[in-house]
Amino acid sequence: MKYPRSSDTIYDVAIIGAGFSGVAVAYHLARRAAQHSQSLSCLVFEPRERIGAGVAYQTQSSAHILNVPAGRMSVDESDPQSFLRWLINNGHAYSENDFVPRPLYQAYLSEIFNELKNDSPDFSLEVIAEHASALEHDESAYEVKNAAGASHRARNVILAVGNSPASGEADIDSSLKSPWDQSAIDSCASDSKVAVIGSGLSAVDTILALEAASFKGHYTLISRRGLLPQPHGTHGHIETTTQTAADLVSARPTIAEMLHEFRGAIEQGVAWRDLIDALRPSTQKIWNRLPSRSKRSFIRHLRPFWDSHRHRVPVESLSVLLDLKQNGRLTSIKGRVLSHAKSSAGVTLTVQTRGRASTTRFDSVFDCRGLWTDLRASRCSLLDSIIRSGTAHYDELALGLRTDKNGKLLSAKGTPLAIYTLGSLRRGELWETTAVREIRTQARLIAESILPEQQPQRKVGNS
Ligand SMILES: Cc1cc2nc3c(=O)[nH]c(=O)nc-3n(C[C@H](O)[C@H](O)[C@H](O)COP(=O)(O)OP(=O)(O)OC[C@H]3O[C@@H](n4cnc5c(N)ncnc54)[C@H](O)[C@@H]3O)c2cc1C
């Protein structure tokens, strides 16, 4: 790791966060700089020890596997075999349809990042193991500050801060355990009573990690709708489905009309997985043209159903949960957690089910409620600083920030700034924006915006 230059240095780019998004942006900037023979200096802020880990790939448990097959996880859409090649070159015998342990994906991202440092003399990449706490601007550059007030300057800033506040700013109440904390998993006594709030991907992860740690106790899964993620599975006639989806999109229906069409298509034999997958290239377009009222209503009423069908898990992961249910070790409750309280004997949860509240004691409770649904509730000091200074603005649903099509934040007057974001902070505007497939495209667009095609110089003089 190189040591950052003096405080007078103005970097071309500061990347805040080096989970998947930060690595993908660094990768695309390096490629673009090399293609156009341009020089570029980047400074990356990342307090976590491991580059590429972020929230999703920080796990060190091989029980946690990717939800997407290896052949679709390349950092570069123009080189789709990149991850698979890395696996094979490193002695991991997987094929493109395999679901690979997530720690291997972090190792792939980390190696890509490290190689960028030696890629070209014109591209420099420095890492500072710090948490960025504030962002300010003077006449010539942005100043990224840490908690102690020390600052580094850059002409462009990329907010690649992802799904949750960085370590040190945990938003989770201390009586609830984090699904991503291996010591929380290890601290559960083998025959204890565990509650899991939420029943999505992180709930599945928590249970898989506990099972891998030889937990033999009981799980209570609490979620409003009691929906588990659907498994990946067989597909039908993708061409017919793509046409059905294209017809749906061009007809510009309301959500209710779309649901009606969906049901009709499924009744006629179209596979629901194909329908959802065929919609994916158009999801952002559909979302974009919905009125805010419909977006809010979708989030309130349909989101759990959308999430459980759209964000699917490998069959093997789900069958662990179904077996536990069958063996009486897992109970699923449809309900709302009203409150929780720590006691010497564990944590008590008050849960409302069918209008009645009841209180139960658990030895441990894991908070698996997933992504923010309201950015205003986040306790991220960096986001707070740019919102309070009036630099950035929430999108209309406050799921993320207002951006232009390249991910540039917009000022109050709608002027694009030299601050970019990608991934979950664009959820309000794009909805479908949290997976590798969408983020890598956003990373490429950011690189193209920072390093635009250079126009050939026009000849001046007599001719
Ligand atoms: C459990 C899980 C599994 C997933 N599996 C898949 C999958 O199989 N396939 C797929 O396509 N997608 C998957 N996803 C989606 C996932 O969101 C993306 O793949 C991707 O990891 C998002 O990366 P990110 O860098 O945007 O965010 P994050 O992973 O959240 O990383 C953000 C990084 O920014 C750093 N940071 C935050 N704030 C600051 C700050 N102020 N200063 C400095 N650094 C900061 C954090 O430390 C962190 O390292 C999964 C998501 C989760 C949660």
Query: Mean pLDDT, to the nearest integer, of 198-204?
Result: 92
To test ligand 1's pocket by mutation, which of 49, 67, 427 has the most ligand atoms within 8 angstroms of CB?
Answer: 67
Does residue 198 line the site of ligand 1, with CB under 6 A? no
Rounded Cα gap, residues 435 and 450, in angstroms: 23
The per-residue pLDDT for 458 is 58
Does residue 423 line the site of ligand 1, with CB under 6 A? yes
The per-residue pLDDT for 57 is 94
Considering the domain 10-164+373-450 in this protein, what is its CATH number? Answer: 3.50.50.60
More confident of the two residues 342 and 425: 425
Q: Is residue 4 predicted with pLDDT exceeding 80?
A: no
The per-residue pLDDT for 6 is 59
Q: Smallest Cα–Cα separation from 422: which of 6, 29, 35, 1?
A: 29
To test ligand 1's pocket by mutation, which of 113, 163, 401 has the most ligand atoms within 8 angstroms of CB?
Answer: 163
Least confident of 85-94, 117-126, 347-356: 117-126
Query: Taking all residues of the chain, what is their mean pLDDT, rounded to a whole number?
Result: 88
Q: Assign 7 a pLDDT band (cuts: 50, 70, 90).
A: low
The per-residue pLDDT for 455 is 65
Residue 54 CA, ligand 1 centroid: distance in Å: 4
Ligand 1 atom with the smallest distance to the CA of 179 is 1
Query: Mean pLDDT, to the nearest integer, of 379-404?
Result: 92
The burial class, CB within 10 Å (0-12 / 13-18 / 19+), for 352 is middle
User: Hey, what are 369's tokens?
Assistant: 């409620």
More confident of the two residues 456 and 40: 40
Following DSSP, what letter does each residue of 57-110 receive, concatenated? T----TT-B-SS-GGG--S-TTSTTHHHHHHHHTT----TT---BHHHHHHHHH
The per-residue pLDDT for 169 is 40
225-235 confidence digits (pLDDT tens):
888 999 987 66
Residue 60 CA, ligand 1 centroid: distance in Å: 15
Q: Is residue 459 predicted with pLDDT exceeding 70?
A: no
Does residue 432 line the site of ligand 1, with CB under 6 A? no
**Which residue intervals of 1-47 are DSSP H helices?**
20-35
Residues 56 and 19 sit within 8 Å (Cβ to Cβ):
yes
Does residue 45 line the site of ligand 1, with CB under 6 A? yes
Query: Mean pLDDT, to the nearest integer, of 364-390?
Result: 86
Q: Smallest Cα–Cα separation from 434: which of 180, 170, 162?
A: 162
Q: Is residue 410 predicted with pLDDT exceeding 50?
A: yes
Domain residue ranges of the chain, discontinuous segments joined by +: 10-164+373-450, 182-230+312-367, 238-300
Rounded Cα gap, residues 441 and 75, in angstroms: 9
Does residue 313 line the site of ligand 1, with CB under 6 A? no
The per-residue pLDDT for 127 is 95
Residue 17 CA, ligand 1 centroid: distance in Å: 9
Does residue 386 line the site of ligand 1, with CB under 6 A? no
Please give the share of the chain, as a percent, with pLDDT higher than 90.
63
Residue 55 CA, ligand 1 centroid: distance in Å: 5
**Atom 23 of ligand 1, nearest CA residue:** 20
More confident of the two residues 238 and 162: 162
Query: Mean pLDDT, to the nearest integer, of 54-79?
Result: 93
Considering the domain 182-230+312-367 in this protein, what is its CATH number? Answer: 3.50.50.60
Residues 113 and 52 sit within 8 Å (Cβ to Cβ):
yes
138-179 confidence digits (pLDDT tens):
888 999 999 888 899 999 999 999 976 433 344 446 788 988
Q: Assign 320 a pLDDT band (cuts: 50, 70, 90).
A: very high
Rounded Cα gap, residues 279 and 294, in angstroms: 18
Does residue 68 line the site of ligand 1, with CB under 6 A? yes
Least confident of 12-16, 70-74, 84-88, 290-294: 290-294
To test ligand 1's pocket by mutation, which of 68, 157, 436 has the most ligand atoms within 8 angstroms of CB?
Answer: 436
Does residue 160 line the site of ligand 1, with CB under 6 A? yes
Q: Smallest Cα–Cα separation from 281: which of 242, 255, 337?
A: 242
> Which long-range contacts (C-beta less than 8 Å, at least 24 apart) are formed by 430-433?
430/284, 430/287, 430/288, 431/283, 431/284, 431/287, 432/280, 432/283, 432/284, 432/287, 433/284
206-221 confidence digits (pLDDT tens):
999 999 999 999 999 9
Q: Is residue 407 predicted with pLDDT exceeding 90?
A: yes
Rounded Cα gap, residues 418 and 283, in angstroms: 27
**Atom 24 of ligand 1, nearest CA residue:** 162
